[in-house]
Amino acid sequence: MLLAQASTSLLPVDLYATLPFWPLLGAIFTGIMIALRLKAERAFWPVVLGVGVSAVLGVILFFDLPGMLPHKADAGVTGHVAEAAHEYHDPGFTHTIYNWISLGDENSLKHDQWISVNFYFDGLTGIMIAFVTVVSLMVMIYSIGYMRDHHGHPERGYERFFAFMGIFVFSMAMLVFAGNFVLLYLGWELVGLCSYLLIGFYYKKPSAAAAAKKAFIVNRIGDFGFALGIFALYMFIRPLTHSGENPLDYAVVFHYIGELSQGKITLVALLLLCGALGKSAQFPLYVWLPDAMEGPSPVSALIHAATMVTAGIYMIARCGPIFAASQTALNVIVVLGVIGAMLAATMAMAQYDMKRILAYSTISQLAYMFVALGCSTPASGVFHVFTHAFFKALLFLCAGSIMLQMGHIIDLRRFSGLRNILPHTKRLMLIGCLSLAGFPLLAGFWSKDEIVHASFVYHPIVGALMLITAGMTAYYTFRMYFLCFHGPLRLPKEAGDHPRESPPVMIAPLYVLALGAIVAGYVGVTFTMLMGDSFLGFLKPHGYFHHYLHASTVVGGEQHGGGLWLMYVSSAIAIAGIWLAWVRYGDAPVEDPDKAALGGLWRLWNAKYYLDELYDRLFVRPLRGLGRFFFATDNNGIDGLIWVVTAVPRAMGGGLRLLQNGALQGYALGMVIGLTVIVLLWRWLEINGA
Amino acid sequence: MDALGIHLLIFLPLVAAIVVWTLPERRKDLAPTFALVVGLLVFGIALVLWLNVGGAGLLGETKLSWIAVGAEQAEGGQLISGLQISYHVGLDAISAPLVALTGLLVPLSIACGFASIKHRVREYYAWMLALTGGMFGVFVARDVLLFYIFFEFTLVPLYFLIGVWGGPERRWAATKFFIYTFVGSVITFAGIMYLALRAAALLDSSLITFDLAMLSALDGLSAAEQSLLFVAFFCGFAIKVPFFPLHTWLPLAHTEAPTAGSVLLAGVLLKLGTYGFLRFSLPMVPDGAVEWATAMGWLAIAGIIYGALCCWVQTDIKKLVAYSSVSHLGFCMLGMFSLLPIGLSGAVLYMVNHGLSTGALFLVVGMIYERYHTRDMNKLGGLARQMPIMTFFLILFVLSSIGLPGLNGFVSEFTVLLAAYNSPTLGPIYGVFGATGILLGAIYMLYMAGKVLFGPVKEPAGTPDLSAGLKPDLNAREITILVPLAVVVVLLGVYPRLITDTLDPALETQVMQRVTAAIESSAHKTVAKTDGDNVITCEGDKELACGIDVSDGTPYHLITFSPYHSVIMPTPDAVTGGP
């Protein structure tokens, strides 16, 4: 079977396995350039080239992968005995690079078990790596132009920015390629580190430094649960494994997971879910993502919208065999997803910072993906990850383009009517907004519709809430769009006298992403000529994308097709939301009509439901208080206690006074006592022996 | 050759210490260079020895009779009764990583004092070298009393290093450090004496010796004796670790010590305590260790959380790093008392990794202090702008310290927690509490990094003080000190098998076998047995499962005592085969 894989792959697997390391190599080169104090002007080259190589490899791998995977049918042809129905078939294959951490022997019977550095290839790997590397490359190219001041000179820290971005792409690729849970955790933590370093890129700003710290720590809260999940998996799976089977490899875990009791599976699933809640910024751990917008816009686009934050969805989809076996865990995911989607959408309606609106919409869209996962249709969730990456990266980069030309002002109250100044940005932003709003026939429409459909099958109330959220999405997206580009021209004074369109190096990659935002959805759509059974007469959901994902660990219930009435309803809701935004914000009013109309509710949304303040009162302050108490105990209590204990010998013989007068005398005393004891013992022994 | 190398590790620094001390006044400028050369030499020797060490056996074993009391000589000059302390040294794979760590840290800590040590220079380097000899002696000693002598000897140089070249409260800090550690080790000494006497009685020998291998293979101590002996060892070693709640000497000693003192204290001397537990408590009194394991586990967890929360409210950077040691060594002890192979190997890795990352953090903090003459985080800020190179290193070592995967700290932290979770003596709940340390660690370390490095620039008036020939950012000497640590931090994160490949077999033969036997005997020895009809019966409500290992066809059976404790044993031949 292994031979068959090798013969059908275009490039050797070893070459594909180098994919994550090219950006790292680029980052190291850039690091050397920093160390040698070379000119910053060209610092982007090594990283952009490294990511470029990765993107090429990623796209080739995407097309090459289906032929490399073991197919069930092939297994039959090559003479494998048909296995029982409940038996787990590994849909992919594991490629080991080296053994990393030894797990020790257990009475010499379970030897050769390791935590390895190994990569896992299946359909999910192919999809994730393709869009991650391509979107990364586009964002990198954009950054070449973006990370400059208005004279076109590189900003302070230009080289550092590219080095960190290179490390990010490496880490994200490791996360996607990882073939076991520990390596997944490695990628997971490393992307978190890059996020920390890049949110704090403008470290002189206290708000940026605080946001970076908050992001890392909130993520670590999730990772705490994630790590416990991995420990639990090890504890449950290891007793079932044999020598040579690494107990934390995906292939091994998924093979044996069915033998665990329902309670154990649910426990593992819920613990792993904690990690996803942190990384994918879901309720109740979403508080870090809006603050993360302190980072440069390309970082927001790549890390905090398109790739890193989808890692949680990726992980749950990857662990399909675990989650599919626990309906309790799936129900929890749906509930959290619905709460997250609704909360985030309401908060997005009451913000003025463009990037924060987009951040809340990211939370909301990620929550959609969660709902898809919970409704046993993980393929639809992954599909939304895929389309979302294009249009959300596009939106953030457009916001960055506006921000750059407005002198780093992003507050919608400070400017309006930019349609003539930034014509390209306006056009691109419109595509992004329509796609996010779920306007028919654009990328976001197809994937979102699948999720709404699945949620209706799961429970009508969930479906209704998803539809309402879709309407809110359309509304706040276009509220932002109209406030920015419509109405009379107003400019902040920071923008200077002649703001102009961004340079081609920034605009060109945006067109690539915009193309994705339009057509990416058709990867998951089948063209058909059956009039009655299709949308607008020739389009039918569930296409190549779902077929591709079939050979992966993404397992769920039946995929729900058809149900055309829902597509028309959701189209109508999207258009209605846009229309409502046009009515209320079409001429970019200076006074916010919603603020006046909604009053207290609006303020609650604007203040993000006071969750930050709540956490501060509930956790941060008590813990710090405890720390102060402990420190005081240390200084007074424990020392005092020991002083009291030593008071007995002090009172008795004053022996310790010698130590206080001069430790050396005390030491000498100790040695004398010790020697005396030795001699006495010897005497005792001699007497007894004799 | 290997034996010569081990002797050199101990005596070269000691002789060099005397040479430095007695350098004539006009040659006193040579002292730092001379000390550094000696430091590099011992590093070279330590490195070669570490590379030579294998999974089994003792490298360069030498045994010479040193102190012999009760001269009843028989033919051949052998002592047959009385008391014998020998100079017995050798290196195995358990000590070797720690010897290599010491070898690495010694030249770096010598070099870090070049700019800041201005008075009594010769004496300073003499004490540094004397400390070096003592530290190596502890790790290579194969005679328990020799170990104890070196263990105690390290107190003296450090006492003077803190007391003479330390900060404003140095005298009190040195005295407190001395009293604590000395009082504890006196009790340990009593324990060692008792153990040696009992060993002689049990082996029916009238010669009292302190041979490590002999004492580590001793059978026949009663459970009560083992329990008491464990407590006796605990007193000396736990204070050294420092184990909660006996840690209060540490923050003060660290804060007041000169940078080099802090580096060696955190990097090596604290490991004497954990090494003591591993080398003595576990193999010599395994039943005692098993009996006290849960208590040790809870104390370790208390230390992890207590230390971490104390870190979070510090304003002094050095004190913060000092408290982080309390938290980190709690992890180390948690792994050790999981009494699992991965736990022990994780604990040894933790010793090395903690030495590297905390040693490096103290070095960086020292470099900041030399420029700004303050360690108060409220008076510093935004140093990333002023000192980008320093920032790079500080962030790297902070990340290593909080266990970022890919760097060294992660491997040991992960294995230690995994072991606690799966341990026969501890259990998942210990793993859960221990894992809060990864969260709290990130909080206090990033709090520190954020305060010192980020935000608007804040510097005390009149600083940075560059009068000592420093640059605003790190100079070449300082970068040279930090680079080796940075390289090792990455290397051990990516490929920890550099240490574990030889360490694991050595731990298995020297510690684990004893401990496993004790665990099984504490679980009432025979749970499963075969009767005449080849049927396995199981006592009590233990679960029993049988199976065949597919890789080599060995049949085995699995006895489950509890959800997280099961033992796999080869099925006796009587069950599977036989005509």
Q: Convert the pLDDT of each residue in A373-407 to its tens digit.
A: 999 889 889 999 999 999 999 999 999 999 888 88
Per-residue confidence (pLDDT) for residue A84, from 0 to 100: 40
Quick one: how far is CA A37 from the chain centroid? 33
Looking at residues B32-49, what average pLDDT do you find? 93
Residues 70-129 of A with CB under 8 A from B: 98-107, 109-110, 112
* pLDDT classification of A333: cutoffs 50, 70, 90: very high
Per-residue confidence (pLDDT) for residue B61, from 0 to 100: 85
Interface test with A, best of B183, B433, B495, B516 (most A CBs within 10 A): B183
Per-residue confidence (pLDDT) for residue A178, from 0 to 100: 93
Cross-chain Cβ contact B450/A213 below 8 Å: yes
Weakest mean pLDDT among A248-252, B287-291, B521-525: B521-525
Looking at residues A77-91, what average pLDDT do you find? 52
Weakest mean pLDDT among A94-108, A528-542, A650-664: A650-664
Percent pLDDT > 90 in chain A is 44
- Residues in A touching B422 (Cβ below 8 Å): 231, 234-235, 238
Q: d(Cα A234, Cα A249) in Å, to the nearest integer?
A: 10
Per the listing, tokens 């759509």 go with: A525
- Residues in A touching B311 (Cβ below 8 Å): 627
Q: d(Cα A374, Cα B130) in Å, to the nearest integer?
A: 65
Please write the tens of the pLDDT for every residue from A424-483.
Answer: 999 999 999 999 998 988 998 988 988 998 898 899 999 999 999 999 999 999 999 999
Q: d(Cα A455, Cα A465) in Å, to the nearest integer?
A: 9
* pLDDT classification of B335: cutoffs 50, 70, 90: very high
* Main-chain dihedrals φ then ψ at residue A66, nearest 5 degrees: -55, -35
Cross-chain Cβ contact A667/B431 below 8 Å: no
Structure tokens at B508: 């298995």
Interface test with B, best of A630, A636, A639, A673 (most B CBs within 10 A): A630
Per-residue confidence (pLDDT) for residue B82, from 0 to 100: 75
- ∠ CA(A438), CA(A440), CA(A442), 5° rounding? 75
- Positive or negative, the CA dihedral B360, B401, B410, A211 is negative
- Residue B246 pLDDT greater than 90, yes or no: no
- Positive or negative, the CA dihedral B260, B262, B265, B270 is negative
Of A98, A104, A193, the CB nearest to B399: A193
Q: Helix, strand or coil for residue B337?
A: coil
Q: d(Cα B441, Cα B354) in Å, to the nearest integer?
A: 13
Please write the tens of the pLDDT for every residue from B558-570.
Answer: 555 554 455 555 5
Per-residue confidence (pLDDT) for residue A55, from 0 to 100: 95
Number of residues assigned to chain B = 579
Of B178, B421, B500, the CB nearest to A663: B178
pTM of the model: 0.88
Predicted complex: ipTM over 0.95: no
Structure tokens at B59: 């490298």
Residue B175's identity, in one-letter code, is: T
Q: Taking every pair of C-alpha atoms in chain B, what is the biggest distance, in angstroms?
A: 91
Q: d(Cα A307, Cα A314) in Å, to the nearest integer?
A: 10
- Residue A3 pLDDT greater than 60, yes or no: no
Structure tokens at A408: 């780093």
Weakest mean pLDDT among A159-173, A498-512, A668-682: A668-682
Please write the tens of the pLDDT for every residue from A24-68.
Answer: 999 999 988 888 887 777 888 899 999 999 999 999 999 988 888
Per-residue confidence (pLDDT) for residue A103, from 0 to 100: 84
CA distance A232 to chain B (A): 8
Count of other CB atoms within 10 angstroms of residue B494 = 15
Per-residue confidence (pLDDT) for residue A613, from 0 to 100: 87
Please write the tens of the pLDDT for every residue from B488-546.
Answer: 999 999 999 999 888 888 888 888 888 888 887 776 544 444 433 333 444 444 555 55
**By CA distance, what is A188's nearest residue in B?**
B405
Q: d(Cα A314, Cα A640) in Å, to the nearest integer?
A: 54
- Residue A262 pLDDT greater than 80, yes or no: yes
Q: Is A205 left (phi over 0), alpha (psi -120 to 50) or beta?
A: beta
**By CA distance, what is A242's nearest residue in B?**
B549
Q: Count how many pairs of residues, chain A against chain B, have C-beta atoms within 8 Å.
A: 220
Q: Helix, strand or coil for residue A377?
A: coil
Per-residue confidence (pLDDT) for residue A314, from 0 to 100: 94
Cross-chain Cβ contact A678/B193 below 8 Å: yes
- Residues in A touching B342 (Cβ below 8 Å): 102-104
Looking at residues A80-104, what average pLDDT do you find? 73
Q: d(Cα A343, Cα B527) in Å, to the nearest integer?
A: 57
Cross-chain Cβ contact B182/A666 below 8 Å: yes
Give B82 or B249, the one with higher predicted confidence: B249
**By CA distance, what is B439's nearest residue in A?**
A220
**By CA distance, what is A244's nearest residue in B?**
B551
Over chain A, what is the mean pLDDT?
84
Per-residue confidence (pLDDT) for residue A75, from 0 to 100: 40
**Residue pair B350/B482 in contact by the 8 Å Cβ criterion:** no
Looking at residues B107-126, what average pLDDT do you find? 88
Give A71 or B413, the one with higher predicted confidence: B413
CA distance B307 to chain A (A): 9
CA distance B147 to chain A (A): 15
On whether any CB of chain B is under 8 Å from the CB of A193, the answer is: yes
Per the listing, tokens 């606690």 go with: B420
CA atoms within 13 A on the CB side of A621: 7
Percent pLDDT > 70 in chain A is 85
Q: How far is CA A85 from CA A82, A386, A555, B291, B506, in A?
A: 9, 32, 15, 48, 46
Please write the tens of the pLDDT for every residue from A548-593.
Answer: 888 888 886 665 555 678 888 889 999 999 999 999 988 888 888 8
H or E element: which one contains A325?
none
Please write the tens of the pLDDT for every residue from A606-663.
Answer: 888 888 888 888 888 888 888 888 888 877 766 666 666 555 555 554 444 444 444 5
- Residues in A touching B549 (Cβ below 8 Å): 109, 242-243
**By CA distance, what is A627's nearest residue in B?**
B309
- Residue A337 pLDDT greater than 50, yes or no: yes
- ∠ CA(A225), CA(A229), CA(A233), 5° rounding? 170
On whether any CB of chain B is under 8 Å from the CB of A210, the answer is: yes
Q: How far is CA A480 from CA A63, A187, A477, A545, A588, in A?
A: 38, 34, 5, 32, 9
Per the listing, tokens 């400390």 go with: B131
Percent pLDDT > 70 in chain B is 88
**Residue pair A139/A301 in contact by the 8 Å Cβ criterion:** yes
